[in-house]
């Protein structure tokens, strides 16, 4: 009995890639078209537009195509979606403006070319462009079993970091570095380094001890290729740049409100009552003390003049009369 062995190349294995596709930046247009895959499937589309009619302007038609049908002109739109396909699959983007249907745009991109590169293409002669790249954080995915990123002081943040399709040589090793810093600073409070072999995909379990002080913190994650011994002599690791970076922001907050200080417990006191609907209210403001060496440049209130008091559930409000 003969046995037939079939070798499947690596490119035929399906991979999961989260993509971000943006278009616009020029004159407002009403775009329609599609985003499709030659093989595999598209899943989990998330629209990025801000217009009121954005919901319903894109939908999946089968497993391999996303339909785009905008209802109104806009200067920006986009979508995040996941492509589950071999790396040699082709992503085809077709766009046309309803205002210029005779000038359609089409481009075909291999998924392998989007792992580390951004494609920036001109859409039309009115300044609109197309950007295609991996979604932020897709190369360093973070998994955790929590509904929110609000922690108690001193709690431990348990998560897993999954490097995915990093732009490094096949079978190479990377150094995964994690740093906890106060938000918008570089002051390191905690750090950890792990070595990851790209030939053995998987997730790295991590436990991050959080500070006892309340505040907002950033967990910075980066991946830097580890050189072979020949490369290490020529270019030490400290000189090498990360191939992927991302951050996770979290909040440390006590479960109960801290005891208020003496100043915070004092009640508010009315110093000068003002009724903006009273035409003579400015006389009171004019008698308030001024800062030294600063001269008041105006003598009358700034406003349209026609106003009255409107009693609302929130309190007394000033209502301006409509212009003639």
The reply to whether 10-134 and 140-252 are identical in fold is: yes
List the chain domain ranges.
10-134, 140-252, 281-320
Domain 140-252 of CATH type 1.10.3720.10 = no
DSSP codes of every residue in 233-251: HHS-GGGPPPSEEEEEEEE
Tens digit of each residue's pLDDT (9 = 90 or more) over 150-183: 999 999 999 999 999 998 887 789 999 999 999 9
User: What is the architecture, at CATH level 2, of domain 10-134?
Assistant: Sandwich (2.60)
pTM for the structure as a whole:
0.72
Tens digit of each residue's pLDDT (9 = 90 or more) over 46-101: 999 999 999 999 999 999 999 999 999 999 999 999 999 999 999 999 999 999 99
Phi-psi map region of 275: left, alpha, beta (phi>0 left; psi -120 to 50 alpha):
beta
Which of 162-171, 181-190, 212-221 is least confident? Answer: 162-171
* Structure-token match 């308030």, residue found: 288
pLDDT at residue 196 is higher than 60: yes
Extract the tokens encoding 254: 């006590």
pLDDT of res. 108: 97
């Amino acid at each position: 009995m003969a046995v037939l062995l079939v070798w499947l190349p690596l490119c035929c294995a399906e991979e999961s890639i989260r993509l971000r596709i943006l278009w616009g930046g020029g004159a407002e247009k009403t775009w329609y078209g599609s985003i499709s895959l030659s093989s595999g499937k598209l899943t989990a589309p998330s629209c990025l537009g801000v217009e009121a009619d954005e919901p319903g302007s894109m939908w999946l038609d089968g497993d391999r195509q996303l339909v785009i049908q905008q209802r109104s002109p806009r200067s920006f739109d986009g979508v995040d979606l996941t492509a589950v396909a071999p790396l040699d699959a082709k992503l085809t983007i077709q766009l046309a403006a309803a205002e210029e249907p005779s000038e359609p745009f089409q481009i075909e991109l291999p998924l392998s070319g989007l792992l580390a590169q951004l494609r920036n293409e001109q859409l039309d002669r009115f300044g609109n462009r197309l950007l295609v790249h991996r979604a932020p954080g897709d190369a360093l995915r973070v998994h955790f079993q929590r509904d929110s990123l609000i922690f108690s002081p001193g709690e431990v943040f348990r998560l897993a970091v999954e490097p995915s399709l990093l732009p490094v040589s096949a079978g190479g090793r990377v150094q995964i570095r994690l740093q906890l810093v106060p938000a918008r600073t570089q002051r390191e409070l905690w750090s950890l380094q792990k070595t990851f072999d790209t030939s053995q995909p998987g997730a790295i379990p991590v436990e991050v001890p959080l500070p006892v002080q309340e505040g907002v913190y950033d967990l910075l994650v980066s991946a830097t290729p580890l050189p072979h011994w020949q490369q290490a002599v020529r270019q030490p690791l400290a000189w090498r740049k990360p191939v992927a970076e991302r951050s996770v922001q979290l909040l440390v907050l006590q479960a109960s409100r801290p005891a208020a200080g003496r100043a915070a417990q004092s009640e508010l006191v009315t110093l000068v009552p003002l009724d903006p609907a009273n035409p003579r209210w400015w006389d009171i403001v004019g008698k308030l003390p001024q800062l030294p060496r600063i001269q008041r440049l105006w003598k009358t209130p700034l406003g349209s003049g026609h106003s009255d008091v409107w009693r609302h559930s929130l309190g007394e409000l000033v209502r301006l009369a409509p212009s003639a």
